[in-house]
Amino acid sequence: MWSAQDVARDRVRRQANGLDVAAVAERVAEAAVRERETAEQLRGNGSFYAFEMDRERLAVIWLAQHAEWQRVRDLMTATGWSVYEPEQDAQGSVWAREREERLAGAPAAQAASGARGRKEAEGADELRAEVRLSAASGRLVQTVAGRTGLRPSEVLAQLAERIVVGEDGTVSVPPFTPSW
């Protein structure tokens, strides 16, 4: 999965191609507005449409896009380019190559990870997982971990050990106090 910076850099690189400094400046202003709006919506001062992505990720992407549009504008101004050409942007080209390399290597890394997972599952009766939590959920887990002296992974493991699946398929965790 691409980071917010990867998404922003790729979008800006494609969208800026052939734009002059004035058009890029307009995109900087638009990105600033979008960054502010998504930050306000994230704080609960606005509404998101149901089909939009995770609020936090969208806010971070607009923050990154704003920064990238500014970088392109500053580069064009400093170098005197009349239009943006991605191939001339040395830093942007390095980032694009890095994204392509990561993308090309992803299937091999995923296959290796799957093979390791199958091997571990055959040899042990445990599950190793990488979990991505929303910022709000992550803060809660870290708060609990900080209060109990546990690592966040230990808090999640204790939560998982207490999962109860109801007859109707609902999943819950009865109240408990995490401990060593």
- The pLDDT score that the predictor gives to residue 18 is 97
Structure tokens that stand for 138 in this block = 């992550």
Neighbours of 5 (CB within 10 A): 17
Kindly report the backbone phi and psi dihedral angles of residue 129, in degrees, each rounded to the nearest multiple of 5, phi listed first.
Answer: -140, 150
Work out the number of other CB atoms within 10 angstroms of the CB of residue 105: 10
Residue 169 pLDDT: 87
Question: Is the full-model pTM beyond 0.85?
Answer: no
CA distance 23 to 86: 15
User: How many other C-beta atoms are found inside a 10 Å radius of the C-beta of residue 34?
Assistant: 17
Largest CA distance in the chain: 68
The pLDDT, as a whole number, for residue 47 is 52
Please state the domain extents for the chain: 4-105, 135-172
Helix (H, G, I), strand (E, B) or coil at 171: strand
Residue 2 near residue 99 (C-beta atoms within 8 A): yes
What pLDDT sits at residue 64? Answer: 94
How far apart CA 61 and CA 73 sit, in angstroms, is: 18
The one-digit pLDDT tens for each residue of the chain (180 residues) are: 578 899 899 999 999 999 999 999 999 999 999 999 988 887 775 555 544 456 787 888 899 999 999 999 999 999 999 999 999 999 999 999 998 888 787 676 666 666 555 565 555 567 777 778 787 787 888 888 878 888 888 888 888 888 988 888 888 888 888 877
Q: What is the CA radius of gyration of the chain?
A: 22
- Spatial separation of the C-alpha atoms in residues 102 and 94, rounded to whole Å: 12
The confidence score (pLDDT) of residue 73 equals: 97
Handedness of CA 84, 85, 87, 92 (dihedral sign): positive
